[in-house]
């Protein structure tokens, strides 16, 4: 168990102040091949998970969306098309290399004008309260040191009637699937990381960070503690991934 001075970095215990730097190093290492690795690791299914997240967000034209841990901006790209030129998407990430690749990818796709970029920490958002119609975080919450604080910040910046979407790896529903998933995560993922990125350790950390992340029911309870109402989750791919949704009423 972590105390106030330490937290987990995968299966390791590290000083609280050290985790952010170590997470940044991981994503600095994998940024150049991040999209390719996502396609290889999930056989492209991550695109369907993200599409379902956007569907559940119910975003409409003219709304304001905050995309936390935006990475290479897959979710931001989808939101930008929905909110249109009257709306705005703020894509944020704590890692400059990832956010830079996301910005370049969207600009190359001709998406500009209604997407803004900011390097921020999800635990201390520099945005006013009651501002956004929707806040999303895709595959990023497990890397946050103080997850409850990040959820509270998400709640703070949402306006009344707004909703938060958390897309994250979770706990497979069946024991056989959990066993197969463990074998894949700790054998195949590091091997792919070594082959494609030249970095097995970063993908070993990513596998460990998934196991340290709260399960579906625990994360739902954390969202309720942060103030969200009507919280629910949707298991995808047998619970390998879950989308949590909560509202600020």
- Which of 62, 36, 84, 77 has the alpha carbon at shortest distance from 192? 36
- 198 located within any domain: no
The tens place of each residue's pLDDT in the chain, 249 residues long, gives: 344 688 988 888 889 888 888 887 888 888 888 888 889 999 999 999 999 999 999 999 999 999 999 999 999 999 999 999 999 999 999 999 999 999 999 999 999 999 999 999 999 999 999 999 999 999 999 999 999 999 999 999 999 999 999 999 999 999 999 999 999 999 999 999 998 889 899 889 989 999 999 999 999 999 999 999 999 999 999 999 999 999 999
Q: What is the pTM of this model?
A: 0.92
Q: Which domain holds residue 80?
A: 18-173+204-247
- 187 located within any domain: no
Residues 6+ apart with CB under 8 A from 198: none
> Structural domain tally of the chain?
1
- 188 located within any domain: no
- 239 located within any domain: yes
Residues 6+ apart with CB under 8 A from 23: 9, 94, 95, 143
- 75 located within any domain: yes
Query: Which residue carries 């190359």 as its tokens?
Result: 108
CATH number of domain containing 104: 3.40.50.150
- Which of 96, 207, 210, 74 has the alpha carbon at shortest distance from 142? 210
Q: How many CA atoms lie within 13 A of 203 on its CB side?
A: 25
- 125 located within any domain: yes
Using alpha carbons, list the distances in angstroms from residue 86 to 10, 83, 110: 41, 7, 17
- 3 located within any domain: no
């Amino acid at each position: 168990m972590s105390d106030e001075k330490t937290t987990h970095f995968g299966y390791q215990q590290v000083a609280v102040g050290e985790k952010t730097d170590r997470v940044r190093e991981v994503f600095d290492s994998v940024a150049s091949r991040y999209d390719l690795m996502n396609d290889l690791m999930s056989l492209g299914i991550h695109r369907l998970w993200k599409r379902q997240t956007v569907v559940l967000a119910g975003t409409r034209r003219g709304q304001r969306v905050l995309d936390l841990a935006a990475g290479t901006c897959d979710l931001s790209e989808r939101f930008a098309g929905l909110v249109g030129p009257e709306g705005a998407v703020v894509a944020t990430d704590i890692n400059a290399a990832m956010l830079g690749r996301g910005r370049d990818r969207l600009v190359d796709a001709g998406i500009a004008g209604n997407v803004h970029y900011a390097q921020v920490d999800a635990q201390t958002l520099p945005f006013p309260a009651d501002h956004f119609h929707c806040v999303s975080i895709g595959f990023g919450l497990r890397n946050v040191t103080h997850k409850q604080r990040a959820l509270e910040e998400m709640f703070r910046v949402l306006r009344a009637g707004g909703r938060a979407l958390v897309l994250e790896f979770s706990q497979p529903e069946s024991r056989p699937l959990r066993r197969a998933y463990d074998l894949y995560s700790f054998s195949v993922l590091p091997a792919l990381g070594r082959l494609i990125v030249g970095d097995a350790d970063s993908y070993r950390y990513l596998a460990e960070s998934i196991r340290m992340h709260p399960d579906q029911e625990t994360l739902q309870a954390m969202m309720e503690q942060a103030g969200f109402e009507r919280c629910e989750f949707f298991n995808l791919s047998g619970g390998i991934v879950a989308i949590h949704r909560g509202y600020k009423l």
